[in-house]
Amino acid sequence: MHTRGVVWTLPTPFRAGAEVDHEGLARLVDLAVRAGVSAVSVLGAAGEASRLTERERLEVVDTVTRHANGRLAIVVDTSSDGLRTCIDFSRQVRGLGAAAVLVSPPRAHRLSNEWIVHHYRSLAEAVDLPIVVQDAPAQCGVSMDAGLLVRIGREVPAARTLRIDAAPTSMKITRILAAAAETRLHVLGGQGGLFLIEDLRAGADGVSSGFACPELLVRVVALVRDGHESEAVTLFHRFVPLMRFENVEGVGPAVRKEMLRRRGVLVDASTRAPGIVLDEGMRGAIEQLMAWAARQEGAEWLLD
């Protein structure tokens, strides 16, 4: 499992908000390969997993792993409020070819640190797969401090990759790496990639993001690694308006899909009910922002 670079989060495309568009999923995988990402992540909130049936979730994983055919690693979000459910689903996706699972703590009232560690330890003992620990309190309602995240990595060797979605991400990454000492943790910034530059400066190994232009993320990470931070900052900030728009709470998945539709990757930008339907004003704003970004130096590939 690659833990450096860009892990691109795939949306789940639908046909008119109904059936899963498996051909669209295949085109997303092809875009990920062309962009040079290290891995793709499927399901979870960004993939509208809660709106999919159990059969559909497995079919999504199967389509992505089959079409990827070893060209990149597949990470599957198997988070669940129940430990047994998480284990069973993780076993199933392992059988379909997943390279790792992404897991947030269960949503539970006053969940203790001991139980959180137990959750990850039990999963690691039951399923032979690397675990990406997702720290996303806004999503699961559980806040994990730097000390707890480091403890999970120390006590559960399979869980030494962290995805940090708790803002401010760069400050938390700094605290985690300082507390980790000799425990080698792999840290990915989250928050849609909005703080990618700051996260890399703090020591992140890369980013996990669903931003509709994964090429941008790959280029920025490569420039920073090669010591061209000034060039990376200039390129990155040309796309911040698009990233900011895509990360608006409540409409993010719909905006992302509309951007991918305009890029020719998706045929249909719909989300599944009760997902938000964009109005003409929002679609016009997306078109304007994408056109502006494509005109920037070094960004001509956006609308190829």
Can the peptide bond before residue 274 be classed as cis, meaning omega within 30 degrees of 0?
Answer: yes
Contact 9, 165 (CB under 8 A): no
CATH number at residue 56: 3.20.20.70
**Residues near 266 by Cβ (< 8 Å), separated by ≥ 6?**
13, 21, 24, 27, 28, 257, 260
Residue 252: the pLDDT is 86
pLDDT of residue 251: 86
Give the pLDDT confidence score for residue 139 in this predicted structure.
Answer: 80
Q: Which domain holds residue 166?
A: 5-228
> Which residues, given as ranges, of the chain have pLDDT below 70?
1-3, 297-304
CA distance 196 to 164: 11
Domain membership of residue 283 (yes or no) is no
* pLDDT (0 to 100) of residue 298: 60
13 in a structural domain: yes
Please report the pLDDT score of residue 303 as a whole number: 53
**Does a structural domain hold residue 252?**
no
Question: Is 249 a member of any domain?
Answer: no
How confident is the model at residue 268, as a pLDDT?
94
pLDDT score of 299? 64
Task: For 188, list phi and psi in degrees, rounded to 5.
Answer: -115, 135
pTM score? 0.93
In a domain, 166, yes or no: yes
Supply the DSSP string of 63-83, one letter for each residue. HHHHHHTTSSEEEEE---SSH
Query: What is the number of domains present in the chain?
Result: 1
